[in-house]
Amino acid sequence: MAPSHPHGDTARRHRLSLIACYTAPGGVAALTDLFAWSEWLPVISSVIAVIVASQLVLTLDVWQAASLVLKAVAMAAFVASLFWMITMMFAPRLTVLAVRGEPVLATVVHHEASRFLDRGSSDDEHCYRLQRTDGSPISGDICRGLDEFAVGDTMTVLVDPSGLIAPETPDEVGDTRFWQIPALVSLLAMLVLCWLTGGLTPGAGGDQVVRRRLPRPARHRHRSKYEL
């Protein structure tokens, strides 16, 4: 039997495909956090990423033929991707305000409360519109799960000079590291696990050896002179 080593191009393609698929939901979550888009967008992008990965790399045939090690690593990569997406729903806006936010004395001028259902239970959201003490408006609202402020309250907030990102209180911005560190750890873990998964998929690993049977030589049958 002669060994045949699979080409590294397949492993590279699988690795890059998985990294692209599992990184995309975190990117969508970051944009959602920065520009206050719908929180459903990261969830939808995560579902799409899994579907695309199942078509490009982790197909049904590959999954059925995969070893337990490959399945465990692939699931760990998906879990790391989820953590990356969740942290990116909170870290980007706080990071931008921590870096370039300008302290402004502001007054609460409007309070809007809304209630929505989540798995059978109701959750409240309170959003507050602010303006500077000189009367000029501040772009974006501060939203909380609890009713923390009242109309007429005056507070110091960090404001993005460009006005593209909603303001936030210094206390909340001070917790930026709480989201930054898990975001970095989950991103690194996801990249490593996607790299391993792409290399372990059948036919993609450069260290896997595929054995091929050489054709058996044809047997020559000697006819006896006594045979008819």
Query: In the chain, what are the domain boundaries?
Result: 2-93+177-212, 102-159
- Edge-to-edge strand list for the sheet holding 121-132: 137-144, 121-132, 102-118, 154-159
Q: Looking at this protein, which amino acid is placed at residue 161?
A: P
Provide the phi-psi class of 61: left if phi over 0, else alpha when psi is between -120 and 50, else beta: alpha
pLDDT digits (tens, 9 = 90+) for 32-87: 999 989 889 999 999 999 999 999 999 999 999 889 999 999 999 999 999 999 99
pTM for the whole structure: 0.79
**Contact by Cβ (8 Å): 17, 224:** no
78: exposed, middle or buried (C-beta count within 10 Å: 0-12, 13-18, 19+)? buried
The predicted-structure confidence for 138-179, as pLDDT tens digits, reads as follows: 999 999 989 999 999 999 999 999 989 999 999 999 989 999
